[in-house]
Amino acid sequence: MQPILNAETVSIYYGPKRAVNEVSLSILPNTVNALIGPSGCGKTTFLRAINRMHDVTPGAKVTGKITLDGQDIYASDMDPVAVRRRIGMVFQKPNPFPTMSVYDNVASGLRLSGVTNKSYLDQIVERSLRQAALWDEVKDRLKSPATGLSGGQQQRLCIARALAVEPEVLLMDEPTSALDPASTSRIEDLLATLKKDVTILIVTHNMQQAARVSDTTSFFLNGDLVENGVTADIFTNPKDERTEAYVTGRFG
């Protein structure tokens, strides 16, 4: 099977400081991939390179090559906005648009791309909220402010908002770290269903979470990708002793 996403010797700099060192990684479609490693090892920096978020970080520079379906996402004729439509992102803290209703949050991406047909928007909003396992909880309050939802519901709303434009890849940066255990578990369950439609990369500090939700795991340390493989192998039979030390809790 062809990878959907491919990183080749990707390095990322903040000014003169190199935060990610020549990382190469292939991601297969319809999989969940966990990025793990101690604080400051470059997981978020790497994730943000995948949808060109560093374009808006002053002084940041990405070298190497990242392809989506074989297309170089940093090619001069690639529009970063189009890249972000194909590669969505969900952040650590739920960040619904605070002045918008539940419905308008989910519809926002489509409206930005010029969609105005109400019945089409209704259909996509419902589909996205169902995909994010939120529809039953909000179907009677679609016009209410998104900020009235609980933290866990807000995060699922952000997932629905990301899904509404039908991305091929969804990047999740510690999406449950601000949530209680019940909300965390709902989102973890959701990933198994979502991967049928979208390929997922998830940064997590929580190794049990990585083990529970992911098909493959990449272990980062000091900006290096130390080891990448099938999650069960990384946790039970790692090849590199640094991976073993980390997954057995000896540091980090």
Give me the residues that bind ligand ATP (CB under 6 A), please. Answer: 14, 19, 37, 39-45, 57, 205
Task: Enumerate the β-bridge partners of residue 106.
Answer: none
Between residues 174 and 188, which has the closer beta carbon with respect to ligand ATP?
Answer: 174
d(CA 104, CA 121): 10
Expressed in percent and rounded to 5, the helix, strand and coil fractions of the chain are: 40, 25, 35
Q: Which is nearer to ligand ATP, 6 or 218 (CB)?
A: 218
Rounded Cα distance between 151 and 165, Å, is 23
Q: Quick one: 92 or 147, whose CB is closer to ligand ATP?
A: 92
Tokens at residue 156, please?
């699922």
Angle at 147 between CA 111 and CA 167, to 5 degrees: 40
At its nearest, how many Å lie between ligand ATP and the CB of residue 13?
9
Min dist. Cβ of residue 222 to ligand ATP (A): 9
**Nearest approach, Cβ of residue 249 and ligand ATP (Å):** 16
Residue 135 backbone zone (phi > 0: left; psi -120 to 50: alpha; other: beta):
alpha
Phi and psi at 77, nearest 5°, equal -95, 10
Query: From the CB of 75, what's the least distance to ligand ATP, in Å?
Result: 24
Report the residue number, 153 or 217, with the smaller CB distance to ligand ATP: 217
Decide whether 70 or 249 has the Cβ nearer to ligand ATP.
249
Q: How far is the CB of 62 from ligand ATP (least distance, A)?
A: 13
Give the C-alpha separation, 243 to 237, whole Å. Answer: 10
Q: Which residue has the tokens 């972000």?
A: 84
